[in-house]
Amino acid sequence: MAKVNGSETQPGREGVISIIGPGMKVLGDCDTEGTLRIEGTVEGTVRAGKAVVVGKDGVVDGDVHTQDAVIGGRVNGSLIAESRLELQATCVVEGEIHARRIKLEEGGTVNGTVKIGDVSADSPVRSYGSGARKSGGEVSQSTAGES
């Protein structure tokens, strides 16, 4: 416990980082108020109140819903980042992506629909395809940096 202005407080759960290590496999959903780092495999839905980090050897076979996400491994399912999504050069994402802001490094692979904008259901969303603006926002067999 910490003391703030003379009174004791519990450490914030959102500051806790949970880790699924290399070689570890989780069957089922994962929920946390803080940050989840995945270096192993998760087969199920992942929900994190703060952030999800998928390392370059990490795999998620299911949906991901969080505030911020950094993806270096593989995600097979929908990926919703209410604030920021970073797709690293080593990532492979198969499925729908919806994020307020996206950074895609050259070499990262996305196969699916990409929607950029407010994540709330009643807000308009900007959709982008592979390099050019499209009404449907479909991205198929696209790798960042291709011409």
Distance CA 117, CA 123 (A): 8
Per the structure, the count of domains in the chain is: 1
Instruction: Give pLDDT tens digits for 5-39.
Output: 444 445 555 567 999 999 999 999 999 999 999 99
Statement: residue 119 has pLDDT above 90: no
The answer as to whether 147 is a domain residue is no
The answer as to whether 6 is a domain residue is no
Beta strands in the chain, from DSSP E residues, in sequence order: 2-4, 7-9, 17-20, 25-27, 30-32, 35-38, 41-43, 46-54, 59-61, 64-71, 74-76, 79-87, 92-94, 97-104, 109-117, 125-127, 138-143
| Residue 115, strand partner residues | 98, 127
The answer as to whether 74 is a domain residue is yes
The answer as to whether 53 is a domain residue is yes
CA distances from 76 to 38, 96, 110 (A): 14, 9, 10
Is the CB of residue 57 less than 8 Å from the CB of residue 41?
Answer: no
The answer as to whether 2 is a domain residue is no
How far is C-alpha 123 from the geometric centre of its chain's CA atoms? 20
The answer as to whether 5 is a domain residue is no
The answer as to whether 122 is a domain residue is yes
Instruction: Give pLDDT tens digits for 40-95.
Output: 999 999 999 999 999 999 999 999 999 999 999 999 999 999 999 999 999 999 99
Residue-range definition of the domain harbouring residue 17: 12-142
Is the CB of residue 30 less than 8 Å from the CB of residue 14?
Answer: no
